[in-house]
Amino acid sequence: MDLSRFPRRRYTSFATPLELAPRFSQALAASCPGGVGPRIWVKRDDMLGLFPGGNKTRKLEFLVGDALAQGADTLITCGAPQSNHCRITLSAAVKEGLKCHFVIEERVAGSYSRSASGNNFMFELLGVNSVTVVPGGANMLQAMQKVADEVAAGGGKAYIIPGGGSNAVGGLGYVACAQELQQQFFEQDVQIDRVVVGSGSSGTHGGLLAGFLGNHIRIPIVGIGVSRDPADQEPLVHKEAQAVADLLDVGLQIPREAVVSVGGYWQPKYSIPNAAMVEAVQMLARTEGLLLDPVYTGKIMAGLIGLARQSFFKPDENVLFLHTGGLPSLHAYEDVVLGRTAPAA
């Protein structure tokens, strides 16, 4: 899969580490049937550029490249109140000398506060040009287009980036990740049996799936839903993966059965903490010194832990966890992740 024909801005000058997590693997095994469990590896995409990085950085390399190629001077995107995607988009805009506007969707009424810590603090510190807050369920594309029209009326040229950077152009970032992983498996002589990834706006899951299939990497990918259960999530991932493959024009048809996701671990609601997430965040922090966030990676790791305890993985499997970042939002949930306040049931 040739990515060289697409405009790209490089925000990371190295391959993110591929690390074994031995102490976490041992602690996980102790809680699995028979005291045995899989070996867990971590792909450190939390170390990507546009610090503190995360999976959106890979997508933005291609999205911002496309925006600059079109002559844009402004980026417009959307997300939830503690959106990692918005924060990294703003960071890219600052680096490129572009203006940046957000449309924030309050999926939980009253949840956005300009003065909150975490990513909201970083929005202000990095100098976001404007934040428009809309209620949950609002038409986000329409709301962003309204901002783009205002930019145009002022003589600017806006480039709209969808939530999570999840479209075919953004998905190219995880085709690049698939190629990077393929090289690391070879160089480190690592045999991975399964990959666990977050599945939300679908760009990471779909892009990685297209990259694996297109590069003949025959490792199954399991998506852990962070906002939807499989019946609703899997068609979105399949659509995204096919859109990425079509953009690359390689004649690849994504088999529907290749899209696998697991639900339940995001409940009771997107971004609302639960006990399994708290356990996962504490467990990885206290065994490996790796920090997860409450909205995404904490719930994704909770899914991995839950599947291991259900014997979904074979005891001798090497399972790769894709760490997609999200550190700043951890600070907005300090009391719950430290057990000072109770999470949802």
Has 271 been annotated as catalytic? no
Q: Which of 83, 91, 199, 329 is catalytic?
A: 83
CB 128 within 8 A of CB 102: yes
Strands 39-44 and 18-20: antiparallel
Active-site amino acid positions: 83
